Amino acid sequence: MEKFLIQGPCKIKGKVFISGSKNSSLPILAATLLFDKTVTIKNLPRVKDIDTMLNLLKSLGSKVEISKNKKTVKISKTKYQKIFAPYSLMKTMRAGILVLGPLLARFRKAQCSMPGGCNLGLRPIDIHLKALTKLGVNYKIIKGYVHAKADNGILGTEIKFPKISVGATENLIIASCLAKGKTILKNCAIEPEVKDLTNFLKSAGAKIKWIGRRTVQIKGVKSLESIKYSVMGDRIEAGTFCIAACLTSGDLKIMNFKPSLIQTELNLLKKAGANIKTYKNEIHIKGPKKIKNLNNIKTKEYPDNLSTDLQAQFMVLLCRAKGKSTITENIFENRFMHVAELRRLGAEILIKDNKAIIEGGTNFQGAELMSSDLRASVALVLAATIANGKSIINRIYHLDRGYEKIEKKLKKIGVNIKRLS
């Protein structure tokens, strides 16, 4: 099993180009199942989850042509469309459930394995299924598979989600594009990745209109047009590199990325002492000599609070701050799994329910570590970057699911990192 060897401490300097967004690419790729015409998707990140989704589309009968650099795919339909999404392809990727909506919209039936992905707690798909029933879908769960049918097709209606869910919002938007009549979805997630999905669908002729901050209206159409579309930059990767620069008193230019997508996180880094300049598609960040503590940071739905996908990275930063800091995790119940590993490096972190109390001023000492999920893995990489001595990070397959060529990008900006078999 592959691992990373990192020799710290390192100072980050240079420029890094941000890859396409994994969390934007996955729902857009799932939505290609709605089309009977060719769709070209550009700026895909070369990460494991994208490979898994493309293999899932192939298993469902799509013809997938991948460019030499693997960043562009052309997807077209074959005569052999299927409706069965197997466990073997769904077990490692939460986003696999996003094929359920388009399969029901196109073919009126689907069989999908319950999805996998990072172990972040329950993350139930009930919210997807209950919302789909309001669109005319009937379903049963048999031996780990969702067996769903929409005998009369998807029927437009009004739905209010009981809680904000990115995945459910995406699934229902996709399903509603070919519905009979008008669908209004309330209490929607409005993350940039959701907006990227709706921009993609609108470009293909879907009639989608945001009629309130968290309310979207979709008027069903009979079919969608052939298009070429480039996905947005990955805001979690961009945020991670910004934190890395701040952590190491570095000087880094973040290229190929719109700063407004992580404005909340940039504001927090400024409070921590970072010097940040933003341009149209670039961020220039200089880390402070002394990091300031931050209190009452909370993860919550976009756009008002810290993204849960950057919580672990911010925790590493605050371990080095002067004074005590707190982070409250409001999205996932199992998202402090990295804390035990950070303690192995010397961190002093107390967990009370969903709140982490972080004692600052930690001088990390290199150690052998174990990754537990995608974002926790990258937090350990950041910590090892400033630790004294060698660190080994095991189970880096989590990182390969979501970060494109991360060790190559880190090497270019000054991190002493090797991938070991």
265 and 400 in a single domain? The answer is yes
171 and 210 in a single domain? The answer is yes
What type of residue is 280?
A: K
**Apex CA 290: angle with CA 289 and CA 293, to 5°?**
150
302 and 395 in a single domain? The answer is yes
Number of domains comprising the chain: 2
pLDDT in tens, 1-13: 899 999 999 999 9
CB 169 within 8 A of CB 185: yes
278 and 213 in a single domain? The answer is no
- 120 has pLDDT over 60: no
pLDDT in tens, 231-274: 999 999 999 999 999 999 999 999 999 999 999 999 999 999 99
User: 408 exposed, middle or buried (CB, 10 Å; 0-12, 13-18, 19+)?
Assistant: exposed
- Reading the block at residue 260, the tokens are 């407004």
C-alpha–C-alpha distance, residues 347 and 355, integer Å? 16
- Reading the block at residue 128, the tokens are 């997807």
Mean pLDDT of all residues in 88-99 = 89
Cβ neighbors of 409 (< 8 A, separation 6 or more) are 16, 17, 241
Last residue within a domain, chosen from 196, 230, 264: 230
Residue identified by tokens 């570590």 is: 369
Which of 10, 112, 118, 242 does the annotation list as catalytic? 118
What CATH number did the domain enclosing 359 receive?
3.65.10.10
Q: What is the pLDDT of residue 402?
A: 82
> How large a percentage of the chain has pLDDT more than 70?
98
pLDDT in tens, 170-200: 999 999 999 999 999 999 999 999 999 999 9
Q: Let me know if 118 is a catalytic residue.
A: yes
Q: Which residues pair with 275 in a beta bridge?
A: 286
C-alpha–C-alpha distance, residues 392 and 168, integer Å? 37
* Domain span holding position 279: 3-19+233-420
Q: What is the pLDDT of residue 122?
A: 45
**CA-based nearest residue to 317, from 287, 352, 281:** 287
pLDDT in tens, 275-300: 999 999 999 999 999 999 999 999 99
Residue identified by tokens 């972080």 is: 358
